[in-house]
Structure 1
Amino acid sequence: MRWANFLHMYQPAEQQPDILESIVVQCYRPIVNGLMENKNIRLTLNINGALFELFDKYGYRDILDNLYKLAQEGRVEFTSSAKYHALLPFLNEQEIVRQISLNNETLKKYLGEDYKPKGFFAPEMAYDSKIAPIIEKMGFEWIILDEISCGGEVGKIDYSKIYKIKDTKLKVFFRDRRLSNLIMSAVVRSSETLLNALGDDINQDKYIVTAMDIETFGHHRPGLEKMLFEVFETKDVEFIQISDADKFYKQSIEIEPSKATWASSKQDIDNGSQFLSWSDPENIIHKWQWALTDLVLKEVYALDK
């Protein structure tokens, strides 16, 4: 079995300095240092541009320097995203492109000119069919989504095949929800319990994709960062970056992903309420927030004229 582990790292641009410091001490610094020390690690990492700027603003130079080194060494694959973690299904194409372009510009500043991401992470894994042609046009080769976006159900992914989005050249890699949730909830706390959770799949010619917030390790779950590096020592699975997967698996399946986020349930999809947390038609505050967003965007675009 091959394991592609995806970690997502984000803080809002206005995050309080004391909160950022606690997350840096509990999570970001130990994990980045661990990635530097363990030369066998291969994983895929998303860091939104807003967080890079926070590291710079508050003087976390050691983290920036080590992330740059990891990018140069190639052991960690960096994806792209929307710089300020915007929920893309609610934005127009112009704003989606602007958010991604700003993110690419910021990451190139901190990771170097060789930063040329192949993969794309939509914040919250929030997917709508309009996103695929936009990111394909911007040069991305793949997107990561939760497995609920594969037909609106979990447990349906064939991890011996590569999925492609219909009418595009984009590949889509689906997050295994069960294993990701077992790790995030700290049910899996050692390499032994992880291997038990993988079961018979570990001996099959398959890959698996897990994805979670990096803050799970050490901040949300104190001590769980130790498990992360213990797991990377196991010889029972081969660790790969997501972009490596299609080197090993040549059969493909075409699919039209369902509209969803990585927290959506089948009931949410059946009811058309996948994005209720951000746009509830009965929530007047949501209506005001989106009206304000539209107003602000008009003013931002006017500045470019």
Structure 2
Amino acid sequence: MRNICLYFQVHQPFRLRNFPFFDIGENGDYFDEAANRALLRKVAQKCYLPANKLLLDLFRKHGKDFRVSFSISGTILDQFERYMPEVTESFQKLADTGNVEFLSETYAHSLAAMKNKDEFIRQVNAHAEKIESLFGQRPLAFRNTELVYADFIGETVHDMGYKVMLTEGADWVLGWRSPNYLYRSHVRPDLKLLLKNYRLSDDIAFRFSDRNWMEWPLTSDKFVHWLNAILEEEEIVNLFMDYETFGEHQWTDTGIFDFLEELPGKVLKKGFGFITPSEAAFLPDEGPLSIPYPVSWADEERDLTAWLGNDMQQDAFDTLYELEDKVVRCQDVRLKRDWLYLQTSDHFYYMCTKHFSDGEVHKYFNPYESPFDAFINYMNVLADFSLKMDTVNEIQQALYPSERNYGSKLSV
């Protein structure tokens, strides 16, 4: 039986406020509360609430035959709690159906795996605890930020107890092989790998409303016809995309909700089944897959250049993680929370200078006029954050001189 693994990423960052040089040392807040609230409410009204309602109706209609999976970042869960708790409640209603698998990821939607293994593990554990507390599921499958994977990340994820991980089915990774199989990690054979079918996924996520696309308009019948053309022996088609595809990236008047409403029934009639990542881990695998260099689901290159491709990004990234020792010694819960939110990958994405084939994607929800503005603002925040950490740690040392490691476990 051929299977569809339908996975949605749900994420929004805490965006920074304008933080000029002269604010450094003035004890100001870092995040733009008004902008974050307004954007969250906008996306929730256009996407999260109506899409969740539609999925709930589809679960009632198709029962256990239709299943999906979500990865919801800790940053947006915190925003739901702060600004719109009804969105969390709508996801809890989906969880109660038993038709949804919630995946694990880094709490801050960060690139910590590329820099700091201990921080990566802390965030993954914190996120798993948050998911379990909200939705009653301890995640069994893992999805790293932006589907970033390399063999060394797979080792860590496996050693944390996960049995399956999602990543990108990039051409430079697969070569002649198809993404429509289950693979296993070359370095940890017990870790199974699900690879995104980026062509079919991006037909929905990016090309759906593009009137210059030769396949426009994309209907559910046409899409199911493409699925049905896949070879019988190719056992799983992984459709991975941002949840914001529905109603935000692709507006309601494009017909995107109608497409989603019709798709499950037409897929099921063709003899496909829907499967979640942890269920897919039990399929027979096609063999080992080695990915020595990081792959992601971003841009044409499917690498890390969207976040770490220029000197500004790398300087900011290095400066951020140079602060880790100060954070570990700190007992201030608010500063630890800021540390988490400052790690979110979006801050580095805004500094990207790739304004060619992928330029429009990098402008989406970007609050800055230029990558340089994003870099300067972020570095000003880090400078202020470092000063705050120094002050707090000096006070702690004065009050508790016998303590040497105040906070080996970061709280969220």
Q: C-alpha deviations, 1:125-178, integer Å up to 9, x for none?
A: 112222112111211111111111x7524662263x421102311000000011
Residue of structure 2 aligned with 1:263, choices 298, 305, 325: 298
CA distance in 2, matches of 1:175, 1:241: 13
Q: C-alpha deviations, 1:220-239, integer Å up to 9, x for none?
A: 10121331121122222322
Using the size of structure 2 for normalisation, the TM-score is 0.65
State the SS of the aligned residue for 1:117: coil
**Structure 2: which amino acid aligns with 1:48?**
S
**Structure 2: which amino acid aligns with 1:9?**
V
State the SS of the aligned residue for 1:212: strand
State the SS of the aligned residue for 2:262: helix
The answer to whether structure 1 residue 60 and structure 2 residue 85 are counterparts is yes
State the SS of the aligned residue for 2:306: coil
- Number of the residue aligned with 1:128: 150
**Structure 2: which amino acid aligns with 1:231?**
L
CA contact (8 A) 1:88 1:123 kept: no
Residue of structure 2 aligned with 1:228, choices 260, 278, 284: 260
- Number of the residue aligned with 1:33: 53
Deviation (angstroms), 1:183: 1.0
The change in CA–CA distance for 1:178 and 1:154 in structure 2 (over 3 A counts) is: farther
State the SS of the aligned residue for 1:209: strand
CA RMSD of aligned residues (A): 2.3
List structure 1 runs of 4+ shifted beyond 4 angstroms: 202-205
CA contact (8 A) 1:88 1:126 kept: no
Count of paired positions: 291
- Number of the residue aligned with 1:212: 241
- Number of the residue aligned with 1:143: 165
The change in CA–CA distance for 1:251 and 1:134 in structure 2 (over 3 A counts) is: closer
- Number of the residue aligned with 1:48: 73
Structure with max Cα Rg: 2
CA contact (8 A) 1:82 1:100 kept: yes
State the SS of the aligned residue for 1:5: strand
Deviation (angstroms), 1:257: 2.4
Residue of structure 2 aligned with 1:167, choices 187, 198, 209: 187
Residue of structure 1 aligned with 2:321, choices 290, 294, 297: 294
Deviation (angstroms), 1:252: 3.6
CA distance in 2, matches of 1:147, 1:58: 36
CA contact (8 A) 1:166 1:255 kept: yes
Deviation (angstroms), 1:289: 0.9
- Number of the residue aligned with 1:238: 273
**Structure 2: which amino acid aligns with 1:5?**
L
- Number of the residue aligned with 1:87: 111
- Number of the residue aligned with 1:181: 202
CA distance in 1, matches of 2:113, 2:250: 30
**Structure 2: which amino acid aligns with 1:58?**
Y
CA distance in 2, matches of 1:188, 1:137: 45
CA distance in 1, matches of 2:179, 2:314: 40
Residue of structure 1 aligned with 2:125, choices 71, 83, 101: 101
CA contact (8 A) 2:184 2:285 kept: no
The change in CA–CA distance for 1:158 and 1:86 in structure 2 (over 3 A counts) is: closer
The answer to whether structure 1 residue 10 and structure 2 residue 37 are counterparts is no
- Percent same amino acid at aligned positions? 21
CA distance in 2, matches of 1:176, 1:298: 40
Deviation (angstroms), 1:36: 1.6
CA contact (8 A) 2:103 2:141 kept: yes
CA distance in 1, matches of 2:308, 2:39: 28
Q: C-alpha deviations, 1:23-62, integer Å up to 9, x for none?
A: 001100011111222222301111112111111101332x
Q: C-alpha deviations, 1:167-197, integer Å up to 9, x for none?
A: 3110000000110111112056321121232
CA contact (8 A) 2:3 2:275 kept: yes
